[in-house]
Amino acid sequence: MTDYLHGVETKREEQPASIQDATTSINAMVVSVPTFLLKEEYQTLNKPVPIRGYSDITKYAGKNVAGFTGYDSLYTAMTESEGAIIYMINVFDKDKHKTSKTIDTAHLTAGKYTIEELGVTNLVVGDGVLDTDYTFEDGVITVIKDGKFKDAASVTITYDYADITKLTTADFIGTIDEDNIKTGLQAVYDIQALYGDEISILTVPTYSALKAVRSAMESIESKLKLQSYYDCPVGTSINAAIQGRQGGNGTVDASVDLTSSSENGMFCFPYVYRYNAETDKDELRPPSPAVAGMRVRLDRERNVAKSIDNTKSLTTNGTEFPIGFRLNDPTSESNALNAKGISTFINYKGSYYFWGGRNAKFPTVDNIETFENVQRTASYIERSIQNSSFQCVGETITQGFIDDVLNMIESFFNRLKNPQNQIIIDGNVIYDPSQNPAEELAKGHIRFSYKFCPPPPVERLTYYSFIDIQLLNSLGG
């Protein structure tokens, strides 16, 4: 028997399920940071930290110190994107990455001696006592005039200093131990669990030029459906880069290995000059942070379907060496690089542009899916549908459920076809009974199929021109 009611009631129906857009512009960067310059509360190691503005860069990355990639990479990506969320993972361990040094005769000048290295710890000055016989501040040892070194011309000193060269490939690749503690690149997997954010862009500035690091990135790209931007080694010539796409075989520089067939990775070349406020000059830096920032800016100003090809850089002041570029010349250096799946920076009328739109799978494969924007659009659609289908798990398999899923995805595709902000040419979803036999449905397994096509970018534009002498007939009016 139903509940008795003599009157009127209203029950609000739930809104039909809709697909929420997956994030496309949250970046993860694995970098090195001079933690010895930071307050203890901002020192991190192998832990994702959200960087939401320039003040966070100063807090967690310190300064733009030579050899360390953190500050420059974060600042560059933040500037190029004109505002972004970047998860920083620092792999520099001040307690591990250090070198011991002894100077038997450290000559004092006016009672002082300056240690050039940074991050000095465990300093021992002869048999003296700190703050009794000497002080140490900002890298300077100063003899106290009433101490035991007051008449000394030199002292013996021993100390440890932060040594960025101690960082290894393994530090960046990282590990997952038996307690599920993650380091290096593996810590990327913790971002969603810790913060609820889903990253879509991954960079390891400078070190992504190493084959082993790139392989680790490729594994993460595949699992998380995200986009990576790879650097080429500093000092790599154009010919070496081209040969490097074949594994470095040849006579130019066999050590350059740029092999990759990742559909989610993109090679960036060459190193570029960016301004360093610490030294007040332009310095040679890896291009990947700039490209990652450009991608975020494009996603915001246009959409995920807009190719990064021919995007102006806001931070690049020069390239390691000139890249020959002529818009209509297939033999130009930029074209030779692009033909091997290497995107480059070109100088066009005084401004630097990122030139090239193919992923690392090109030219081994030459189809629409080798365009960076097409692959990113596909990942965005797949993640959007997959994430929004969380609510479907546990529901009952009925005709109404099937109709709801079909309507949900069709509505999503209709929105993506909107000419005002078009992301796909077309798309549709079907439920095929032949793919869903009773035996599978009885196991709780239901299958839908959908297809779509993002718009490819203009890579080659051809005009046909004619000199038509019949147009002379218009003379004389």
Mean pLDDT, residues 123-146: 95
Whether 417 maps to a domain, the answer reads no
Domain identity same for 214 and 141: no
Task: Quote the CA–CA distance of 169 and 435 in Å, as a whole number.
Answer: 46
Split at pLDDT 50, 70, 90, the class of 14 is low
Residues 185, 147 within the same domain: no
Tell me whether residue 350 is in a domain: yes
Q: Which residue, of 141, 162, 183, is where some domain finishes?
A: 162
Co-location of 152 and 218 in the same domain: no
Contacts of 205 (CB under 8 A, 6+ apart): 29, 31, 69, 72, 73, 231, 285, 286, 288, 289
Q: 248-252, 324-328, 463-467: which has the minimum mean pLDDT?
A: 248-252
Do residue 249 and residue 153 come from a single domain? no
121 belongs to a structural domain: yes
Q: Output the furthest CA–CA distance in the chain (Å, rounded).
A: 106
- Closest CA relative to residue 362, chosen from 341, 335, 336: 341
Average pLDDT over residues 197-222: 96
Same-domain pairing of 319 and 238:
yes
Query: Could you tell me the CATH number of the domain that includes residue 54?
Result: 3.40.50.11780
pLDDT tens column, 436-450? 999 999 999 999 999
Q: What is the pLDDT of residue 7?
A: 73
Backbone angles phi, psi at 334, to 5 degrees: -60, -40
How confident is the model over 84-121, as pLDDT tens digits?
Answer: 999 999 999 999 999 999 999 999 999 999 999 999 99
Domain boundary (162, 191, 206) is at: 162
- Residue 477 — very low, low, confident or very high, per pLDDT cuts 50/70/90? confident
Neighbours of 337 (CB within 10 A): 25
Q: Which domain holds residue 145?
A: 98-162
| Amino acid of residue 236 | T
Interval 356-375: pLDDT, tens: 999 999 999 999 999 999 99
Residues 243 and 353 in one domain: yes
Examine the domain organization and report whether 242 and 257 are in the same domain. Answer: yes
Asked if the model's pLDDT at residue 452 lies above 90, the reply is yes
Structural domain includes residue 194:
yes
Convert the pLDDT of each residue in 166-207 to its tens digit: 999 999 999 999 999 999 999 999 999 999 999 999 999 999
Same domain, 298 and 209: yes
Assign 15 a pLDDT band (cuts: 50, 70, 90): low
Q: How many CB atoms lie within 10 A of CB 312?
A: 13
The total number of structural domains that make up the chain: 2
Amino acid 8: pLDDT: 84
Provide the pLDDT confidence category of residue 40 given band limits of 50, 70 and 90.
Answer: very high
Same domain, 231 and 304: yes
Is residue 442, in this structure, part of any structural domain at all? Answer: no
Q: What is the pTM of this model?
A: 0.92
Confidence of residue 18 (pLDDT cuts 50, 70, 90): confident
Of the candidates 82, 81, 76, the residue with the CA atom closest to the CA atom of residue 272 = 76
Per DSSP, 14 falls in state P
Contact 167, 186 (CB under 8 A): no
